[in-house]
């Protein structure tokens, strides 16, 4: 495939030639490289970026397919410009084995719209105690997490860090002291963040802090990095967009104050924040009415972040691209996230010039629990390409 007439994140005219699943060339005058039968994509008026990589998403398979399944999750991700997602294990049954993880990944490969890594639980079946399965996981499993709850017992978590250091496994942390969160969710997140950052430094185990949302948590990660802990962290689009004085929609962690949002943006500016991840959390209307936490976010993430951070805060598009593509790919160990020869041929074309309106009913996700319905955003995803093949193309407007 030859992509012509695009501009890159710096606004420079650029062409890309994709073949054999990788980027073969980036530059100008590449038409001679393409054969007569190869597709040519005219990207006039559009910006080409590396396809996005999501460090944190829920596709609800197995057990909760009425909320989302691999096919609809893949379609939503592709429509949002994603070519790869990292899936959480809070399914039914809980994903606690390599075989369970492989089954989800194989289904994603069969669907073919978006690659996936399925994480495994830190404790067996989220029982909060049992770690024996970590000692026998094959090398194909490189990430574990207790997302949605966190490991509450400090001694259990310390043993998990020790095992994962020996096994070369990265721990993804949902920071919440669940004895404290019913009455002070800020303290619950800050304490668990400090604990897990200290454990990462002590054992030198790779730690990734999920959906960091408070000023205190950002500062804890910043200090941990300065002390040499192998810690990375992510923030979500909804924690950058909403503040608790105007929004009480239930997500976990909750929507925070304007000061917290400012701290997240400061963390992005100074490099404390490594990535933006969606925490795409589909729920049925009935589940939301019963208090389920979370919102869908795959399809709105780039528009929300470009509008909020680039147009609103003046952050360069190159930085946003790094947060949504390059750094997530590096953390996951993928050959993605950069527009360079030899990298996977995963790219996204976006329209930065014209606003568009989010329509809840037009979302590809099986669930429609989005707070952005009716929002006017910039940064519409017009096409997504994975492995050199078109996986999404927006309808003409």
| Catalytic residue positions, numbered | 279
For 36, residues 6+ apart whose C-beta sits below 8 A from its C-beta are none
Contact partners, residue 182, CB within 8 Å, separation at least 6: none
Sign of the C-alpha dihedral computed for residues 272, 126, 115 and 136 taken in this order: positive
C-alpha pair distances (Å), 312 with each of 2, 47, 143, 303, 308 = 33, 19, 34, 12, 5
Residue 86 DSSP SS3: strand
Burial 271-295 (b: 16+ CB within 10 A, else e): ebbbbbbbbbbbbbeebbeeebbbb
Contact 334, 52 (CB under 8 A): no
Q: 167 is written with which tokens?
A: 């096994």
CA distances from 261 to 243, 266, 297, 315 (A): 7, 9, 18, 15
| Residue 364 vs residues 70, 78, 126, 300: alpha-carbon distances, Å | 12, 9, 30, 11
Q: What distance in Å separates the CA atoms of residue 216 and residue 32, rounded to the nearest whole number?
A: 54
d(CA 240, CA 319): 15
CB-CB contact of 54 with 86 (8 Å): yes
Task: At 150, list the tokens.
Answer: 């966190």
Among left, alpha and beta (phi > 0; psi -120 to 50; other), residue 168 is left
Question: Is 261 strand, coil or helix?
Answer: helix
């Amino acid at each position: 495939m030859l992509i012509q007439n695009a501009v890159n994140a710096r606004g420079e005219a650029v062409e890309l030639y994709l073949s054999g699943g990788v980027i073969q060339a980036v530059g100008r005058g590449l038409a001679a490289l393409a054969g007569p039968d190869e597709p040519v994509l005219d990207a006039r008026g559009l910006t080409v970026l590396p396809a996005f990589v999501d460090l944190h998403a829920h596709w609800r398979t197995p057990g909760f397919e009425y909320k989302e399944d691999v096919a609809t999750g893949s379609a939503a991700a592709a429509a949002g410009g994603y070519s790869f997602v990292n899936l959480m294990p809070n399914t039914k049954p809980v994903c606690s084995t390599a075989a369970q993880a492989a089954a989800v990944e194989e289904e994603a490969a069969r669907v073919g719209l978006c690659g996936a890594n399925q994480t495994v639980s830190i404790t067996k079946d989220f029982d909060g105690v049992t770690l024996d399965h970590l000692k026998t996981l094959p090398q194909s499993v490189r990430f574990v997490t207790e997302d949605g709850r966190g490991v509450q017992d400090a001694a259990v978590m310390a043993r998990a860090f020790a095992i994962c250091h020996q096994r070369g496994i990265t721990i993804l942390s949902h920071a919440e002291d669940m004895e404290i969160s019913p009455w002070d969710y800020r303290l619950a997140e800050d304490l668990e963040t400090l604990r897990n950052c200290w454990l990462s430094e002590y054992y030198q185990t790779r730690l990734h802090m999920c959906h960091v949302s408070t000023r205190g948590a950002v500062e804890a990660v910043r200090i941990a990095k300065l002390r040499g802990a192998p810690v990375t962290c992510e923030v979500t689009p909804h924690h950058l967009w909403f503040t608790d004085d105007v929004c009480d929609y239930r997500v976990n962690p909750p929507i925070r104050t304007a000061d917290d949002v400012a701290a997240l943006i400061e963390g992005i500016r100074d490099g404390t924040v490594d990535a933006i991840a969606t925490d795409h959390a589909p729920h049925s209307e009935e589940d939301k009415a019963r208090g389920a936490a979370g919102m869908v976010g795959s399809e709105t993430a780039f528009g929300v972040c470009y509008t909020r951070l680039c147009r609103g805060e003046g952050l360069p598009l190159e930085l946003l691209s790094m947060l949504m593509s390059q750094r997530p790919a590096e953390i996951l160990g993928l050959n993605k996230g950069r527009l360079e020869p030899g990298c996977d041929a995963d790219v996204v074309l976006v329209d930065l010039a014209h606003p568009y309106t989010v329509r809840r009913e037009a979302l590809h996700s099986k669930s429609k629990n989005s707070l952005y319905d009716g929002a006017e955003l910039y940064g519409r995803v017009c096409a997504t390409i994975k492995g050199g093949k078109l996986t999404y193309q927006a309808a003409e407007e």
